[in-house]
């Protein structure tokens, strides 16, 4: 493993573990390209005692990309230690982003290994087992994550923090129009926001396909059993300690959590 990427990952992890922030990674280990950022992210896996739970996609809307000053989406890893069941109390801790995101998530049924030709939407959907409603609680280890650029955000595990996966949808989601499918998120009944699947790279299925091809280009297999959460369908609402949060995907189900004190 690249010692520079490993050293950068050590710094990211220490800040994540301790709830601290930094202006940026030190210049000596700072990633300059997306590939450099993914190398740092890969080195973070040394700190997990479990197989990877799955993947997230950040910056899946033009508004989100503008907010953090990047020109496209990027992937992050979901670590099993930071995944909670539906209805759980999730630690609030030192989170400074203080928002939640309502997302379509897919669990894979088959491996999608790296290959020369791009995966099509049909290729990827054939490898999917189930669709789930999900809530992501992002955070960053930077003092101002809007200024550090894509390479450092990727190294920061694409602002991953906590994740709650809802139950598998029982409706036949493959026959639904996910582009127009409505999603509603509420925080403590004081802030209700609506969105739709089309806010996620135009279609959550397109986002999932993007992720499969992004990993393929990195030489990484998207594995059976892994979960991919495809990005927020709503403008993320703010949260506070003690808040009850619910994301309602209509016929596809709902997922709840409570923020810790």
Model confidence over 120-139: pLDDT tens digits? 999 999 999 999 999 999 99
Measuring CA to CA, which residue among 32, 67, 59, 26 is closest to residue 152? 32
Alpha-carbon distances, residue 202 vs 84, 184, 247, 258 (angstroms): 28, 18, 20, 30
Helix/strand/coil for 91: coil
Say whether pLDDT at 12 is over 90.
yes
* pTM metric for this prediction: 0.97
Domains and CATH numbers, the chain: 50-259 (3.90.850.10)
Q: Give the pair of three-digit tokens for residue 110.
A: 């088959």
Query: What gap in Å lies between CA 223 and CA 226, rounded to an integer?
Result: 6
In this prediction, residue 91 has a pLDDT band, given cuts at 50, 70 and 90, of: very high
- Residue with token string 């189900």: 253
Say whether pLDDT at 213 is over 80.
yes
Say whether pLDDT at 9 is over 80.
yes
Alpha-carbon distances, residue 52 vs 44, 68, 72, 82, 242 (angstroms): 11, 26, 24, 11, 29
In this prediction, residue 96 has a pLDDT band, given cuts at 50, 70 and 90, of: very high
Query: What gap in Å lies between CA 139 and CA 43, rounded to an integer?
Result: 19
pLDDT at 190: 87
Residue 103, sorted as left (phi over 0), alpha (psi -120 to 50) or beta, turns out to be beta
């Amino acid at each position: 493993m690249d010692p520079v990427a490993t050293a950068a990952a050590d710094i990211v992890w220490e800040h994540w573990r301790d709830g601290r922030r930094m202006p940026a990674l030190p210049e000596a280990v700072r990633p300059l390209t997306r590939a450099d950022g993914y190398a740092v992210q890969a080195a973070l896996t040394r700190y997990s005692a479990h197989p990877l739970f799955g993947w997230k996609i950040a910056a899946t809307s033009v508004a989100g990309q503008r907010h953090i000053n990047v020109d496209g989406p990027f992937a992050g890893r979901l670590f099993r230690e930071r995944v909670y069941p539906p209805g759980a109390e999730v630690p609030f801790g030192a989170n400074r982003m203080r928002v939640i995101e309502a997302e379509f998530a897919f669990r894979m049924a088959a491996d999608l290994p790296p290959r020369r030709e791009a995966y099509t939407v049909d290729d990827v959907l054939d490898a999917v087992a189930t669709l789930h409603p999900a809530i992501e609680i992002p955070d960053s280890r930077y003092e101002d994550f809007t200024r550090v650029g894509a390479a450092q955000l990727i190294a920061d595990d694409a602002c991953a923090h906590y994740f709650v996966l809802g139950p598998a949808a029982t409706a036949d989601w493959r026959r639904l129009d996910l582009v127009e499918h409505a999603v509603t998120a509420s925080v403590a009944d004081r802030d209700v926001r609506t969105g739709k699947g089309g806010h996620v790279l135009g279609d959550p299925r397109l986002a999932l396909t993007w992720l499969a091809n992004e990993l393929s280009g990195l030489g990484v297999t998207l594995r059976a059993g892994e979960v991919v959460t495809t990005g927020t369908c709503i403008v993320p609402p703010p949260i506070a300690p003690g808040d009850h949060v619910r994301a309602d995907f209509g016929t596809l189900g709902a997922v709840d959590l409570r923020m810790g004190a």
